[in-house]
A and B are shown apart, each in its own frame.
Chain A
Amino acid sequence: QKEVEQNSGPLSVPEGAIASLNCTYSDRVSQSFFWYRQYSGKSPELIMSIYSNGDKEDGRFTAQLNKASQYVSLLIRDSQPSDSATYLCAVNFYNQGGKLIFGQGTELSVKP
């Protein structure tokens, strides 16, 4: 099992729809979870962090965390073509000294 696993995509959604990005991780005691967005040819930028079970909303973005299921997701409401990018899930692995481990990323394409 990969330490942090994401579907590589591409995930294609129409403009205005909800995009749902999923991530699973292997460390049951991980405490910190991050979503980064990376446009083609650019560096990753932090868009959300979440530390507690439940939902965390920031504008059109909602992060959802379920530690029991070792699952974190990112929902993007009212998707825009400018949201087209690769979304990276990152998890602090408590049992590896807090090492931040990234998934391979999910490519999202929002069609006008």
Chain B
Amino acid sequence: ETGVTQTPRHLVMGMTNKKSLKCEQHLGHNAMYWYKQSAKKPLELMFVYSLEERVENNSVPSRFSPECPNSSHLFLHLHTLQPEDSALYLCASSQDHPIDRGVYNSPLHFGNGTRLTVT
């Protein structure tokens, strides 16, 4: 496996369900991210982890809960979601995050995303 892999690729869940999205990066990167992409809207940053510490949480509802057990794995735990949470959820990684080394030129490498539908 190379790059950034996400599972599952598609997920349909009811509003009372609990599910988790998984992301794994094989690039040796130090930072990992969750983004939400809704139709006709810019990518929205949800969470950032750098060296396994959460460094950003952009006012995301508590029904989304991230977990970063190590620098290669990132999870997004979902519970009691709303239909408006239906979107493409993208995981990404980068070599470094500016907060750690003041490095501003590390591009993001994205996984293939999880298409989430909340019914």
Q: Cβ of B113 < 8 Å from any Cβ of A?
A: yes
Q: Which residues on B sit within 8 Å (CB–CB) of A4?
A: 42
CA distance A42 to B40 in the complex (A): 15
Interface size class of A (residues with CB under 8 A): 20 to 34
Least Cβ–Cβ distance between B54 and chain A, in angstroms: 13
Q: State the interface size on chain B (CB cutoff 8 A).
A: 20
Least Cβ–Cβ distance between A50 and chain B, in angstroms: 10
CA distance A8 to B41 in the complex (A): 10
A interface residue numbers (CB < 8 A to B): 4, 8, 31-32, 34, 42-46, 49, 51, 88, 90, 92, 94, 97-105
Determine the residue in chain A with the shortest Cβ distance to B43: A102
Q: Which residues on A sit within 8 Å (CB–CB) of B99?
A: 97-98
> Which B residues, 32 to 86, have Cβ-Cβ distances below 8 Å to chain A?
40-43, 45, 56
A-B complex: 4 closest residue pairs judged by Cβ atoms: A98-B98, A43-B110, A102-B43, A104-B42
A43 and B42 form a contact (CB under 8 A): no
Can you list 29 A-B contacts with CB-CB less than 8 angstroms, sorted by A residue number? Answer: A4-B42, A8-B40, A31-B104, A31-B105, A32-B104, A42-B112, A42-B113, A43-B110, A43-B111, A43-B113, A44-B43, A44-B108, A44-B110, A46-B107, A46-B108, A46-B109, A49-B107, A51-B105, A92-B98, A92-B105, A94-B104, A97-B56, A98-B97, A98-B98, A98-B99, A99-B45, A101-B42, A102-B42, A103-B42
